[in-house]
A and B are shown apart, each in its own frame.
Chain A
Amino acid sequence: MISDMTVEELMESVKKGKMKSDEIVDYFKKRSEELDKKLSAYISKCEIKENEGGLNGIPFAVKDNMQLEGTKTTCASKILENYGSTYTATAVKRLLNEGAVALAKTNMDEFAMGSSTEFSAFFPTKNPWDLGRVPGGSSGGSAAAVAAGMVPFALGSDTGGSIRQPASFCGIVGYKPSYGLVSRYGLAAFASSMDQIGPLAKSVRDAALITEIMAGKDPKDATTVDKKIDLLKGVENSIEGMRMAIPKEFLKDLSPDVKMVFQEAIEKFEKMGTKIEEVSIPSLKYAVSVYYIIAPAEASSNLSRYDGIRYGLRIEEDTIDGIYNQTRNKGFGREVKRRIMLGTFTLSATYYDAYFDKAQKVRTLIKREMDEVLSSHDAILGPTTPNVAFKFGELSSPLDYYLQDIYTIPANLAGLPAMSLPMGFVNNMPIGLQIMTKRFEDAKMMRIARSYEKARGKFPMPKLNGGDER
């Protein structure tokens, strides 16, 4: 089945003349058309091909917070509902330059704030494994589309787990590169010090291949680094003798079901000849609190540009303050407003020291403690999420949602590379294993992930009919 094929397999079959790139594009267009009716993974469709190259005819989908000229980039928000991109994000551009074909802009939580895609201003996306459950978020549309075989891969953005958590919920690979590896130019900013673009894909090798194309210094993003990272070379090498750390803070409140699946994964690592050691990273207990101070603070500033003056929604009023108030009141959803208010509060002169400044200090502490563990261990392992995908309406308080990110947030705070890849099922729903390494040791992380993937064996795809030759 074409929908099951990885990017590498598709490239191989084009190379061998088994398929033409046009056929591949048409196939995925048709399958997308049919399955999107069930899943609502896309906000808009397109067909953008700019060049011939190594990724000739490989379709992909782009989260709707990345600029792509020729499409609307809504960030799943009413305030940008009709915003047409005037330029293309660097990461997307680099894929287009290699011949990849953009087929869709995917649904997400508004401005990437959420972990279920329920907070899209337009509609929720459904989990391909169970249409009654969320696909995770905020890159839920991208994750659902890849899991359902609507596209071979998709781009997401990850600020606190927004690639890895939906990858875990949808049974696919999700990779957040080291901070600074992939350009953020063209990614509508949520929390600039943590945002990173990365792939959602069916295999570790695909994730490596796609990221290699996107990565590298961008003169338009001052936070990118000039580092050549070879993610595929050596990815098949053995990891025997490596030392893996499992923070006991990750296991403390874990449900027995998830613990069991994780235990199986650990056993595979032991069989591969790695040493497993339980460690303690005490400051991790502050990670969620620190994140929910720093991320909203940066967001409150980043989202100031949506003011109705130059583009986007504008509610006409008699005064300039009236325009601001009404435009932002009508244009932003509840969760976005909540975070803007949180961030405005923690940055205010009166509370800056008590909240933002203190959070920055704790962030430094978390970073240091994680670096310490990683100076004596090759990687940190744990489950990506505390549970499998929840049902629509299952979570109610904002805090319940915020705790979804408990395992994924530390990598963003510390700038580390992190990947989620499927490790098993709980109640017939997939759940991911998370691997983190030192910053810019993305290649080592890939190698560990690839070794595990081989030991685990092929992971099934959800059963969905559409466009396939069945």
Chain B
Amino acid sequence: MKSVIGLEIHTQLSTKTKAFCSCKNEVDAEPNTNICPVCTGQPGALPVLNDEVVEYAIRAAAALNCEIHEVSSFDRKNYFYPDLPKGYQITQYFHPIATNGYIVLDNGKKIRIRRIHIEEDAGKMFHSSETITQATSSLVDLNRCGIPLIEIVTEPDMEKPEEAREFMEKLRDILRTIGVSTGNMEEGALRCDANVSVHDDKRSSSRVEVKNINSFKFVQKALEYEIKRITKAMEAGENVPQETRGWDSSTKSTVSMRSKEAENDYRYFPEPDLPVLVVSKERIERIKKSLPELPDEKSKRYVEKLGVKEENAKILSKEPELSEYFEEVVKAGVSAKDASNWIVNEVLGLFNADGLEFKGEKVPIKHLKKIIEYTNTSKISRLAAKEVLAEVYKSGKDPDEIVKERNLLQVSNEDELIAVVKEVIEENPDTVQKYKNGKTSVVGFFVGGVMKKTKGKADPKVVGKLVKQLLDGES
């Protein structure tokens, strides 16, 4: 059995004001404070398109390799729901602003984007129970109502749930890099509906739409669950109806929301309150030229020009803040190899352990540079370096101060170390015998013993040399 997956993605654009009125684009303000006659659907209020929305939509379309249309138009999608004050959503149904784009996955597969269009978000509802049908009362917050969205519709080009997840992650990285959206799925700034069907040579299932997927992990999980469910039903000879299902992250399963027959007839028609949207060729070109380097290009440059390991390059190029940080560290004189290794393995490790997003100011570049230098010149051991870095991350203290306070300077002076090495050798006559019998790997054991006695301050290279000298000298 093979599966076919297509995605419909909604992205909130982080413009200053809403799409069709001048209310602030701020979802988490006190409920119903960022509202006006327009976004609450008062009689006589009219929409006026916010030009920043056009700018952001074109930027996204350009970054996603789309054909951008000089003429597009708005339409109304009509349905009743308490979070939709006008009884219709303004969208672009007949003539979207962009079509025919794509994102390339790491395996080289091109996932085509059918269209991108501009639309407005609805309000937010709070029910006294789980759903509106069970609720005895519901509250509506219209702060979110009218916030600009772009909807991105892919072709059904994905075959595996992990491809869908990778697509979503790549999309998020691009949107964040070009600065049009926070791309945060958990907060609803990026939402994904997945369409999936399963087929083999003989049979093919209906298309099932899965909604309410609110994290990157769940994109994969929900699709895996759904494909399994459909496959099982097909193998049992059951009918798979075309329907919309909702992902329930608490039970890790999907439940039926509505059948195809119960779908709304949205009665789309051209929005008479808004003139056609015309953008000049020059404007489109200007926006295309102003795009920053995108994650994939950046990653490629890191590998080819800077010699960064591919897996590190990928991580570093995802987030603009991270890649800028990396480039600053390199600019400060650290080799790209050291910088990338340290940032990916050590610095990011600290943020990940706390479940936090990377913030450059928590590890000042000059501090990180010092730590790397001290390690390379054996001024401190690698172990000590990690300790210093963790302390910088925690308190922001200068590494010199930390090294001094904790007495972490590495001892590489042979005269200072030779006594300890002798001590360790004398304490372990059995192991000395093993060495004499030809088992040279026990050198490490003696080095470890010295490191322990010096609380990690000894330079292991120097210690190793001394151990060999003494053992060989005795024979």
Residues of chain A at the chain B interface (Cβ within 8 Å): 65-67, 73, 75, 80, 83, 86-87, 89, 184-189, 191-193, 219-223, 297-298, 300-301, 303-307, 309-311, 319-320, 324, 344, 347-349, 352, 356
Most buried by B among A193, A297, A309: A309
Inter-chain contact B267/A305, CB cutoff 8 Å: no
Distance of A83 Cα from B82 Cα, bound (Å):
19
Task: Mark the stretch among B246-254, B269-277, B396-404 that contacts chain A.
Answer: B269-277
Query: Does B104 make an interface contact (CB < 8 A)?
Result: no
Inter-chain contact B46/A311, CB cutoff 8 Å: no
Inter-chain contact A304/B43, CB cutoff 8 Å: no
Inter-chain contact A189/B44, CB cutoff 8 Å: yes
Inter-chain contact B42/A324, CB cutoff 8 Å: no
Query: Does B85 make an interface contact (CB < 8 A)?
Result: yes
Distance of A89 Cα from B82 Cα, bound (Å):
26
Q: Which residues does chain A contribute within 8 Å of B88, judged by CB atoms?
A: 301, 304
Q: Which residues does chain B contribute within 8 Å of A306, judged by CB atoms?
A: 43
Q: Which residues does chain A contribute within 8 Å of B138, judged by CB atoms?
A: 320
Query: Does B49 make an interface contact (CB < 8 A)?
Result: yes
Of chain B, the residue at the smallest CB distance from A180 is B275
Nearest Cβ distance between residue A155 and chain B, in whole angstroms?
13
Query: Does B375 make an interface contact (CB < 8 A)?
Result: no
Inter-chain contact B87/A347, CB cutoff 8 Å: no
Most buried by A among B44, B82, B132, B133: B44
Distance of A348 Cα from B268 Cα, bound (Å):
8
Mostly helix, strand, loop or mixed at chain B's interface? loop
Distance of A186 Cα from B36 Cα, bound (Å):
13
Query: Does B282 make an interface contact (CB < 8 A)?
Result: no
Nearest Cβ distance between residue A345 and chain B, in whole angstroms?
10
Nearest Cβ distance between residue B248 and chain A, in whole angstroms?
22
Mostly helix, strand, loop or mixed at chain A's interface? loop
Q: Which residues does chain A contribute within 8 Å of B275, judged by CB atoms?
A: 222-223
In the complex with contacts A301-B88, A310-B40, A310-B41, A222-B78 CB distance below 8 A: no
Interface residues of B in 278-320 (CB under 8 A from A): none
In the complex with contacts A192-B273, A298-B272, A304-B44 CB distance below 8 A: no
Which residue in A220, A309, A352 is a CB contact (below 8 Å) of B82?
A: A309
Which residue in B41, B48, B78 is a CB contact (below 8 Å) of A220?
A: B48
Nearest Cβ distance between residue B91 and chain A, in whole angstroms?
13
Distance of A306 Cα from B85 Cα, bound (Å):
9
Distance of A430 Cα from B35 Cα, bound (Å):
48
Inter-chain contact A324/B80, CB cutoff 8 Å: yes
Of chain A, the residue at the smallest CB distance from B88 is A301
Nearest Cβ distance between residue A92 and chain B, in whole angstroms?
10
Inter-chain contact A347/B78, CB cutoff 8 Å: yes
Inter-chain contact B48/A222, CB cutoff 8 Å: yes
Which residue in A67, A86, A89, A304 is a CB contact (below 8 Å) of B80?
A: A304
Distance of A193 Cα from B276 Cα, bound (Å):
13
Inter-chain contact A307/B273, CB cutoff 8 Å: no
Inter-chain contact A309/B140, CB cutoff 8 Å: yes
Distance of A80 Cα from B46 Cα, bound (Å):
18
Query: Does B349 make an interface contact (CB < 8 A)?
Result: no
Distance of A303 Cα from B78 Cα, bound (Å):
11
Q: Which residues does chain A contribute within 8 Å of B176, judged by CB atoms?
A: none
Inter-chain contact A188/B44, CB cutoff 8 Å: yes
Inter-chain contact B80/A193, CB cutoff 8 Å: no
In the complex with contacts A301-B76, A349-B265, A223-B44 CB distance below 8 A: no
Q: Which residues does chain B contribute within 8 Å of A80, judged by CB atoms?
A: 43
Q: Which residues does chain A contribute within 8 Å of B78, judged by CB atoms?
A: 300-301, 304, 347
Q: Which residues does chain A contribute within 8 Å of B272, judged by CB atoms?
A: 191-193, 223, 298
10 chain-A/chain-B pairs, Cβ below 8 angstroms: A73-B43, A87-B42, A187-B44, A189-B43, A222-B46, A222-B273, A300-B267, A305-B41, A311-B42, A352-B268
Query: Does B364 make an interface contact (CB < 8 A)?
Result: no
Which residue in A87, A191, A305 is a CB contact (below 8 Å) of B87?
A: A305
Inter-chain contact A89/B43, CB cutoff 8 Å: no
Q: Which residues does chain B contribute within 8 Å of A309, judged by CB atoms?
A: 82, 85, 140
Distance of A301 Cα from B140 Cα, bound (Å):
21
Query: Does B207 make an interface contact (CB < 8 A)?
Result: no
Inter-chain contact A87/B37, CB cutoff 8 Å: yes
Q: Which residues does chain B contribute within 8 Å of A193, judged by CB atoms?
A: 272
Nearest Cβ distance between residue A451 and chain B, in whole angstroms?
35
Shortest Cβ-Cβ A-B pairs, 8 listed: A304-B87, A347-B267, A193-B272, A192-B272, A188-B43, A186-B44, A305-B41, A188-B44
Q: Which residues does chain A contribute within 8 Å of B40, judged by CB atoms?
A: 310
Query: Does B45 make an interface contact (CB < 8 A)?
Result: yes
In the complex with contacts A83-B43, A87-B37, A311-B42, A301-B48 CB distance below 8 A: no
In the complex with contacts A87-B37, A222-B275, A310-B85, A301-B269 CB distance below 8 A: yes
Distance of A312 Cα from B86 Cα, bound (Å):
14
Query: Does B448 make an interface contact (CB < 8 A)?
Result: no
Query: Does B47 make an interface contact (CB < 8 A)?
Result: yes
Distance of A89 Cα from B43 Cα, bound (Å):
10
Nearest Cβ distance between residue A320 and chain B, in whole angstroms?
6
Known A298-B272, A307-B82, A310-B41; 7 more pairs at CB < 8 Å: A184-B46, A189-B46, A304-B87, A307-B80, A324-B80, A344-B267, A356-B269
Q: Which residues does chain B contribute within 8 Å of A303, judged by CB atoms?
A: 87
Of chain A, the residue at the smallest CB distance from B269 is A347
Distance of A223 Cα from B48 Cα, bound (Å):
9
Inter-chain contact A304/B269, CB cutoff 8 Å: no
